[in-house]
Amino acid sequence: MTTAPTNAPHNATVGTAGRVLGAILAGGRSSRFGQDKAEALLNDKRLIDHVAEALAPQADGLLVAGGPKREGFQCVPDRPLPDLGPLGGLNAALHAAAGGGFDWALTAPCDAARLPPDLATRLRAGLGNSPAAYAHADGRDHPTFGLWSARLAPMLDAWLDACSSPRDRSIRRWAATVGAVSVAFPDGSFANVNTPQDLAALTPRP
């Protein structure tokens, strides 16, 4: 069990206003898929491009956090180092947001073949006094679809520095320590591609 320090959630709360940086989390190994999922094609378009088209209108800026450099995108590397899972990408996104004058990071994974056009709006509405919110649909949490205060950046740095195992690097586990809340979305709002079969199921048949 990690001994990472926790911080009172209200220390990071900035209210629901402010500029939003859209961040596509792309640092995973795609082990179940067998190749780089972000570059996989759905309807003749890369998955990462599908995500960007859905996320960009909901944010004041857009970048890719984690993984290799992607053509057509501003990219930042996982922080503090690669292969930390989604938290490494989220940490990179939070620091990019804080350093770029953004108040929030709006995240989505690079394999999101479908995400709602009101993701940011619903997450903002569900924040309450929390510094972060993430989606819940189809009976489970989707913590990679989230809205995170940029003021959480130093807290996540400290958490990752104290993590002693991959289990400690669960995005849901860290989110709980800062008081993140889950926000309900209609079932079917999200579609993630984890395997080639998932991608085939989303591809229209001739």
Q: Is 55 helix (H, G, I), strand (E, B) or coil?
A: helix
66-81 pLDDT, tens per residue?
988 898 899 999 999 9
Q: How far apart are CA 12 and CA 97, in angstroms?
A: 14
Q: How far apart are CA 96 and CA 102, in angstroms?
A: 8
Q: Are strands 132-137 and 181-184 parallel, antiparallel or unpaired?
A: parallel
pLDDT, residue 89, reads 94
Maximum average pLDDT range among 10-14, 81-85, 202-206: 81-85
Q: How far apart are CA 187 and CA 44, in angstroms?
A: 26
73-129 pLDDT, tens per residue?
999 999 999 988 899 999 999 999 999 999 999 999 999 988 999 999 999 999 999
CA angle 4, 105, 141 (to 5 degrees): 70
Residues 18-202, CATH architecture: Alpha-Beta Complex (3.90)
Q: How far apart are CA 103 and CA 60, in angstroms?
A: 10
CA angle 56, 57, 63 (to 5 degrees): 15
Amino acid at 142: H
Q: Are strands 61-65 and 20-25 parallel, antiparallel or unpaired?
A: parallel
CB 105 within 8 A of CB 93: yes
Does the reported pTM lie above 0.95?
no
Q: How far apart are CA 6 and CA 15, in angstroms?
A: 20
